[in-house]
């Protein structure tokens, strides 16, 4: 089989960048998407999709940056058309475009649900479950061209946990439930779909906010989880489930970059 084709939706920074770099280490062709470019960054951040794509290529893969706002259907359609024209399939789709973290929402953070402004709901549900669903839906024709495609939806907590405030919890559990139901509808195909739960990661935002010492893991850890999953010929056994990166580390015998296996939340 030729090199696997991956799409990392939301790869300019954070978990997406860590995953893209790990896929580069595995020699994959990686489409890195997002809104932050060399010409225009978002949220006053300096990281860009071009920077991530360059890192993928430097690691032995091929990084292809594509500007895409995953809340915009036209952007998504143009992205899928480009992948169709250039490679004709998608073997791995990783959704990590969630835009509702407390660190960059407008005023009203750390409040109870009745005290929060309406824009918190939009931030967490649109740049989260809605963006994930639209991207997967558009990518289905190319996922179906793969002999064994894998969709990974980044989430935070498994269904039996409470994920912070109500809006955030609803967004995360919507992703988990979406993954579960998708797996049922995909049962007769060669496509598996998994919700993946990291721990407290040392992302660029976390470091800049001064919380690096409290964070338990680097973004390398989730990247290694993704590469372990895509390399597993029996990965369909996880389809529909929400799984912890830490549990996969035990199963697949990988570590974080410091040689440790950090525990989940």
Would you say the pTM of this structure is higher than 0.75?
yes
Q: Could you tell me where the DSSP H helices lie in 2-116? A: 14-25, 49-58, 73-86
Tell whether 239 is covered by a domain. yes
Q: For 29-84, write each residue's pLDDT tens digit.
A: 999 999 988 988 887 888 999 999 999 999 999 999 999 999 999 999 999 999 99
pLDDT of residue 27: 98
Which helix (H) or strand (E) segment holds residue 122: the answer is helix 118-125
Crossing angle between the packed helical segments 14-25 and 49-58, to the nearest 10 degrees: 20
Give the mean pLDDT of 148-161.
Answer: 88
* Domain span including residue 224: 5-252
Report the pLDDT value the prediction gives residue 166, as an integer from 0 to 100.
86
Residue-level pLDDT at 78 = 98
As given in the structure block, the two tokens for residue 73 are 């259907």
109 pLDDT more than 60: no
Rounded to whole angstroms, what are the CA distances from 26 to 29, 248, 256? 9, 18, 16
Question: 265 Cβ partners below 8 Å, 6+ apart?
Answer: 156, 157, 161, 197, 199, 200
Report the CATH number that the domain containing residue 233 is assigned in CATH: 3.40.50.720
Look at the chain and report how many structural domains it folds into.
Answer: 1
pLDDT digits (tens, 9 = 90+) for 209-253: 888 888 889 999 999 999 999 999 999 999 999 999 999 999 999
pLDDT tens figures, 155-193: 987 777 776 788 888 999 999 999 999 999 999 999 999
| CA distance readout (Å), 103 to 99, 108, 118, 120, 210 | 10, 11, 17, 12, 12
Question: Is 264 within a domain?
Answer: no
> For residue 105, what pLDDT is reported?
40
pLDDT at 108 over 60: no
> Which residue's structure tokens are 């920077």?
51
Q: Domain for residue 53, yes or no?
A: yes
Q: How do strand 29-34 and strand 5-9 relate by DSSP bridges?
A: parallel
Is residue 265 in some structural domain? no
Q: Has residue 263 been placed in a domain?
A: no
């Amino acid at each position: 089989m030729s090199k696997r084709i991956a799409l990392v939706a939301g790869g300019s920074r954070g978990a997406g960048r860590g995953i893209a770099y790990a896929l580069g280490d595995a020699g994959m062709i990686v489409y890195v998407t997002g809104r932050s470019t060399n010409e225009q960054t978002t949220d006053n951040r300096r990281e860009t999709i071009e920077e991530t794509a360059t890192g993928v290529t430097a690691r032995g893969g091929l990084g292809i940056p594509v500007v895409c706002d995953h809340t915009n259907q036209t952007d998504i359609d143009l992205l899928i058309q480009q992948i169709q024209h250039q490679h004709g399939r998608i073997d791995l789709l990783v959704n990590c475009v969630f835009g509702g973290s407390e660190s960059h929402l407008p005023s009203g953070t750390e409040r109870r649900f009745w005290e929060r402004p309406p824009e918190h709901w939009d931030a967490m549900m649109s740049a989260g479950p809605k963006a994930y669903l639209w991207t997967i839906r558009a990518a289905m024709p190319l996922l179906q061209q793969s002999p064994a495609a894998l969709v990974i939806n980044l989430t935070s907590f498994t269904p039996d946990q409470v994920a912070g405030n109500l809006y955030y919890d609803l967004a995360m559990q919507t992703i988990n439930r979406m993954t579960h139901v998708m797996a049922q509808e995909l049962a007769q195909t060669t496509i598996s779909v998994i919700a993946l739960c990291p721990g407290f990661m040392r992302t660029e935002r976390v470091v800049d906010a001064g919380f690096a010492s409290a964070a338990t893991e680097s973004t390398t850890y989730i990247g290694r989880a993704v590469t372990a999953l895509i390399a597993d010929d029996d990965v369909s056994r996880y389809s529909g489930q929400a799984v912890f990166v830490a549990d996969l580390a035990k199963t697949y015998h990988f570590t974080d970059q410091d040689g440790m296996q950090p525990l989940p939340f």
